[in-house]
Chains A and B, each alone.
Chain A
Amino acid sequence: MRLLLLILAMLFAVPVTAQDTMPPAPWAYRQLDDPEQEARAQALMETLRCLKCQSQSIADSDAPMAGDMRSQVRQRIAAGEDPEAIRAWLVERYGDYVSYTPRLTSLTWPLFALPLLLLAAIALLLRRRLRKGDGS
């Protein structure tokens, strides 16, 4: 009986979360009327990190702050702003962290260079092996 109560209590437990009671921002859950604009906003939102949840994009998150960011992205797209300009605006405020699209910087260049180096090394190795094979 006690176990049952415990299980029931666990099932109906309400997590203690700090959430506001304000309605979501105007464009947080509403798509833009122009499907082409909405597609551009959606593509951008999928590559922007939710700052509260950190492993989700703002398109995926129900955090109020992600909603506020979506609303701002849609408003700016509707006003004719370029998606990359919006991304740059956010990167200026939160650093590269806010964007899921990697940039080539002095910090990230090894990530781009290493695969090329490895491919070159493999090509070199293969050539030597194949040459040896010809000789025997």
Chain B
Amino acid sequence: MNAPESAPRRVSPWALWLPLALFAGFLALVFHGLAKPGSTEVESAMIGKPLPQFDLPPAVEDRPGLTTSDLRQGKPRLLNIFASWCVPCAVESPQLEALRQQGVAIDGIAIRDRREDVAMFLERNGNPYARIGKDDVSAVQLAIGSSGVPESFVIDGKGVIRYQHIGEIRTDDLPLIREKLREAEQ
């Protein structure tokens, strides 16, 4: 039997423990990522910036269309991006109606939608909107940095985007939305 020839070399403690420490760090990262996956929401980078210029035709017969100057009337307004084909949009209807009854001015933009479908959607879920613009190619949606439906934007009296709410507005989101509308008054 041949004994290993080389005498045991002194291994620096760094060489021994550093790889293990790196591996432990890597594991910690993996488990952190598993336990708390990052958000997949794409936030608009337009908060604090003025609304881009747009002029949308009406989406239904009994409400006018929507232009940038309609959202620059000296008082904050809630701009709701929705669509009749969007399921969560129906979920937030009661919350929008509650806001409207408390005196919040709400305008809508219907994304890729047909007039008759929007009309049917509003008949079924109520119509909290003062104006509804029709955006057939998501042009305004892209211009304000919105990446889906529903999304709601708080616009202040000067037409500056102040806050973005991604996804449907639930009852427990209402205090925050009201707070942001109040902030936009200043």
Contacts and interface: CB of A to CB of B under 8 A. Distances in A.
Where chain A touches its partner, the secondary structure class is helix
Interface residues of B, number: 26
A22 interface: yes
A79 to B, nearest CB: 14
B94 interface: no
A118 to B, nearest CB: 15
Contact of B85 (A21, A69, A91): A21
Contacts, number: 67
Where chain B touches its partner, the secondary structure class is loop
B105 interface: no
Query: Which of B43, B87, B137, B143: most chain A Cβ within 10 A?
Result: B137
A93 B145 CA distance: 4
Interface in B157-184: none
Contact of B43 (A19, A52, A71, A95): A95
A93 B143 CA distance: 7
A69 B87 contact: no
Interface of A: 18-22, 25-26, 51-52, 54, 64-65, 68-69, 71-72, 90-95, 97-98
Interface of B: 40, 42-46, 83, 85-87, 111-114, 117, 136-139, 141-145, 147-148
12 contacts: A20-B83, A20-B111, A52-B147, A54-B42, A64-B112, A68-B138, A68-B139, A69-B138, A91-B45, A93-B44, A94-B45, A95-B43
